[in-house]
Chain A
Amino acid sequence: MSAGLQNLKHIVVLMMENRSFDHMLGSLKAVDPRIDGITDDMDNPDNAGAAVKPQLLAEFQGQLDPDPNHHFPAVDVQIFNGDTSASRQPNMKGFVKSYYDQRRDTGHSQKIMYCFKQSDLPVLTTLALEFAVFNRWFSSIPGPTICNRAFAHYGTSFGRVDMNPFDISEPFKSIYTRLIEATPKRTAKVYYYDTTSSTMEVVNLLQNQPELFGTYKQFLSDCDNGLLPDYSFVEPNYKDHETDEGEEVASDQHPDHDVQAGEFLIAEVYMHIKRNPTMWPSTALLVLHDEHGGIFDHVSPPNCPPDRFAAPPNSTGTGLEFKFDRLGVRVPAVLVSPWIPKNTIVDRVFDHASIPATVTRFFQLGDLPRSPRELNADVFIEPNVAPVDAQRNLLSLDVMRTDCPEFGV
C-alpha cells in the first residue's frame, strides 16, 4: 500500500482563471524537455500572412486588453483556424486570427502568442518543477468559464457551452452533495474569496446550498487549525474591490487582472497547508486554470467520448451541434503533495471532470449516477484500495519529502 495514499485525508482544488499551459508554463520546456511547452518551430499566421512565434514577452497586466475572446465560436476559430469543413482537423493556428478580429490591429494581435518567462512566475513554475505537472490537462469544453467550471463541480455542464445560468438535471449531483450525503458522511466546502468576490456557481450551489460556502479567510484559518474538510474548492478573488481592511486586488489571473496577485494567492494557499505539520502530510493540492482564455497553446485538444447532452447549433454559435466529444484547450495544472517525487511529469489526459471523478473514487462514495464524461475521465489520485497501481499512483514515495520549497508570503 502507498504511504502517501494512506496518509491522504484532504483534497484541495484551487481553480484560477483564463490562462493557457504554454502561456504560463511553456517556458519550462527549456528547463526540462519532458515538459510539453513551447519550441521555436511553433507559429500562428497573422492577418498579413506572417508567421508569429510564441515569445517570452508576456506582462503581468496591460497586455491582453481587450480580454481575448474565449466563447465557443472564437475557440473554434483558435483550434481550427476557421476551417468548418466536415473533414477538418485541429491545428491550433487560429489564435492570432481570432485576437485580430477583436481590434483589427496586427501588432496587438501577435501578443496572444506571448508567454511568461520562468522567472516571472516563481510560484507556479517552482511547484510545477518540484511536484507533478500535467502535460495533458485540458479544459472540459472549448468555451468559456461557467460551463468549464460546471465540469469541476458536476462532471458535466448539462449541455451548456456558454455563460448562461443552467439548471442541474437529475440524477447527476454536485461533488459536494455527493460527499455530504455519503455514508459515512463526508465534508466539503467551497471557499470563495469574500462576499464581494463571491462564487461563479451562483444559480445552483449558492442559491440552494449557501451552507456549503466559506470565505478565503476561513480557508486559511481552517488550514492553520487543521479543520479543512475532506474536499475543498477554492475560488480566487474575481474583482478589484475595497473592503473595510483596505484594497483587494483581483487574484484570479483573468486578463487583464494582475498575474502576480494570483502568484501570491497560490503561494499563500500552499504555505498555509505546508506550515501545519498535520495538514501537510495529509493534503493534496491541485492548482489549475479553468480555461485558456483565448491565449495560445500548441497542443490540439483530443476527441473524447460524448456526454449525455448535446448543445444545438444555435447555442454553439458555429452552426454545428456539439456533442461534448472534444476537450477544450490545454491549461496549467500542478498537483502538490510531499509524497510526490520531485519533477514528476504526467502525460495521461485529464480534464475538469477528473476532479469529481477523483474525489468520488478516492473517498469511495459508491456507485453514484455520473455523467458519461465523468465516467470516462481519468483520476489524478488513485483510490486507497488494494491493489494500488504503482504506475499510476503519483503519491508514490515511501517516505515523505523534507526538501519541499518555501515561499516568502
Chain B
Amino acid sequence: MAIIPVPRPSKKSMNPDRPVNCLLRAQVEHLQHAERRLPLRYRSSIYTHAIRTEGEAAEYVREVTEAIHRAHADAAERRVKRPRRAKGRSKPRAESRKGGRGK
C-alpha cells in the first residue's frame, strides 16, 4: 500500500500569545489547587490571575507539574534514607525500662 502523506501544520499556526481558552484556564486552576498542598519551597512565584496567554499558562503549568514530581521524588528519597527501625528492637527497650524500674 502506498504511504499516505501527512502534512505538518503550518509554521504560522504556532501562537503562544493566543488567549487561554477555558480548558487551559481550568488546568491552571487545578494546578493551583494542587500547588496549595505543596510545601512552600516547591511553590511557583507566578501570579495565576495575571495569566492571559497560552505561553504564560505553559510556564506556570510546567513549573507546578515539575514541582509535584519533585516533591514526590524528594519524599521518596527521604523515605529510603530514613533509618528503618530493626525488627524486634522495641521489645528489648521495654524490657530494659522494666529492668530499670525494678532496680
Contacts and interface: CB of A to CB of B under 8 A. Distances in A.
B68 A206 contact: yes
Interface string B36-69: 0100000000000000001101110110011011
Contact of B18 (A145, A194, A247, A256): A256
A194 B62 CA distance: 8
A311 interface: no
A260 interface: yes
19 contacts: A17-B23, A67-B21, A122-B6, A126-B4, A163-B22, A165-B33, A202-B30, A206-B65, A210-B69, A210-B72, A238-B27, A239-B16, A240-B15, A240-B58, A242-B55, A254-B23, A261-B13, A264-B8, A407-B4
B45 to A, nearest CB: 17
Instruction: Please classify how large the interface on chain A is, using the bins under 10, 10 to 19, 20 to 34, 35 or more.
Output: 35 or more
A203 B34 contact: yes
A207 B6 contact: no
B3 interface: yes
Interface in A140-170: 144-146, 163-165
Interface string A384-409: 00000000000000000001111111
Given A260-B10, A409-B6, A240 B18 contact: yes
Given A122-B6, A210-B69, A241-B58, A203 B24 contact: no
A240 B14 CA distance: 6
Contact of A240 (B6, B37, B54): B54
Contacts of B23: 17-18, 144-145, 163, 200, 238, 254
A163 B29 CA distance: 10
Given A240-B14, A240-B54, A198 B61 contact: yes
A263 interface: yes
Contacts of B72: 210-211
Interface in A154-213: 163-165, 194-200, 202-203, 206-207, 210-211, 213
Interface SS of B by simple majority: helix
Contacts of B69: 195, 210, 213
Most chain B beta-carbon neighbours within 10 Å: one of A196, A200, A211, A213: A196
A61 interface: yes
Contact of B58 (A163, A213, A239, A263): A239
A60 interface: yes
B54 A146 contact: no
Most chain A beta-carbon neighbours within 10 Å: one of B8, B27, B29: B27
B1 interface: yes
Contacts of B99: none
A264 B15 CA distance: 18
Nearest to A201: B30
A264 B6 CA distance: 6
A241 B6 contact: no
A260 B29 contact: no
Contacts of A406: 1, 3-4
A3 interface: no
A258 B26 contact: no
Given A67-B22, A145-B23, A198-B65, A408 B9 contact: no
Interface in A223-240: 238-240
B18 A207 contact: no
Nearest to A202: B30
Nearest to A71: B22
Contacts of A197: 58, 61
Contacts of B54: 239-241, 250
A255 to B, nearest CB: 8
A123 interface: yes
Contacts of B34: 202-203, 206-207
Nearest to B29: A165
B3 to A, nearest CB: 5
A241 B51 CA distance: 14
Nearest to A192: B65
Contact of B4 (A60, A123, A213, A403): A123
A56 interface: no
Chain A to chain B: the 10 pairs with minimum beta-carbon distance, closest first = A258-B13, A241-B58, A163-B26, A202-B30, A196-B62, A261-B9, A258-B9, A207-B34, A260-B9, A195-B65
A407 B14 contact: no
Given A67-B21, A163-B29, A199-B65, 14 more contacts: A146-B26, A164-B26, A194-B62, A203-B30, A239-B24, A241-B16, A241-B58, A247-B14, A250-B54, A256-B21, A263-B7, A264-B8, A407-B4, A407-B6
